[in-house]
Amino acid sequence: AQKITQTQPGMFVQEKEAVTLDCTYDTSDPSYGLFWYKQPSSGEMIFLIYQGSYDQQNATEGRYSLNFQKARKSANLVISASQLGDSAMYFCAMRGTAGNMLTFGGGTRLMVKP
Amino acid sequence: NAGVTQTPKFQVLKTGQSMTLQCAQDMNHEYMSWYRQDPGMGLRLIHYSVGAGITDQGEVPNGYNVSRSTTEDFPLRLLSAAPSQTSVYFCASSQSLAAPREQYFGPGTRLTVT
């Protein structure tokens, strides 16, 4: 069974500063993928970044980067230069080898202060 | 392309009523899935399909039925609605394991059961 744990229910960050959202995972699959999604108050799920378990380098997408530490089973999201529009729920998710389905963590609510 | 569409956006049911949540995608994706999101929580997998005619159960399948007669459509049926099924329902689709970035979510259906 797969499990995703996000230990930070809520976080504050000052505008223009960087913030790290934590994610740890557990799986017995040898190959897996890790995702981060943003869910603003409007409710839609917005894909942010993806890391494959065999990818050699940490993924980056603009202001988002994924700090992937395979031995520690962690996949933390780093947002650089936070903006007010970054205020939202953030979900870490994992896809194993069975189908293309995702297991989600409980989420972290990020609030950016002006 | 419309992407993943869901209807209705909002629905209120009385306990014991049945209904079907509609999901359609126009990207010719093989994989489709249904998730539910309860307040303050991450998404949980209800049912999924890896192709037309093939469905399987996810983490929380009780009280729901699905079928996949075409590639495009993946309806979710509530057989006898219960207040515990009050939630936001998301449909998702993706092409294959080779395209991990291409996991698309619909806008969600907010269901209230009284």
Tens of pLDDT, residue by residue over B60-83, are 999 999 999 999 999 999 999 999
Interface residues on B facing A, Cβ-Cβ cutoff 8 A: 31, 33, 35, 40-45, 48, 50, 56, 58-59, 88, 90, 92, 94, 96-97, 100-101, 103, 105, 107-108, 110
**CB contact set of A42 (below 8 Å; sequence gap of 6+):** none
Ranked by mean pLDDT, the top range of A50-59, B7-16, B95-104 is: B7-16
pLDDT at residue A99, rounded to an integer:
64
Cα distance between residue B6 and residue B24, in whole Å: 7
Cα distance between residue A73 and residue A75, in whole Å: 7
Q: Which of B82, B73, B95, B72 is nearest to B36 (CA)?
A: B82
Q: What is the DSSP string of A48-75?
A: EEEEETT-SS--EETTEEEEEETTTTEE
Residue pair B70/B52 in contact by the 8 Å Cβ criterion: yes
Please answer yes or no on whether A44 and B96 come within 8 Å at the CB atom.
Answer: no
pLDDT higher than threshold 80 for residue B89: yes
Q: Which of A87, A93, A94 is nearest to A13 (CA)?
A: A87
pLDDT at residue B113, rounded to an integer:
97
For the CA atoms of chain B, what is the radius of gyration? 13
Closest-CA distance, A95 to chain B, in angstroms, reads 9
Please tell me which of the candidates A44, A99, A107 has its beta carbon nearest to residue B108. Answer: A44
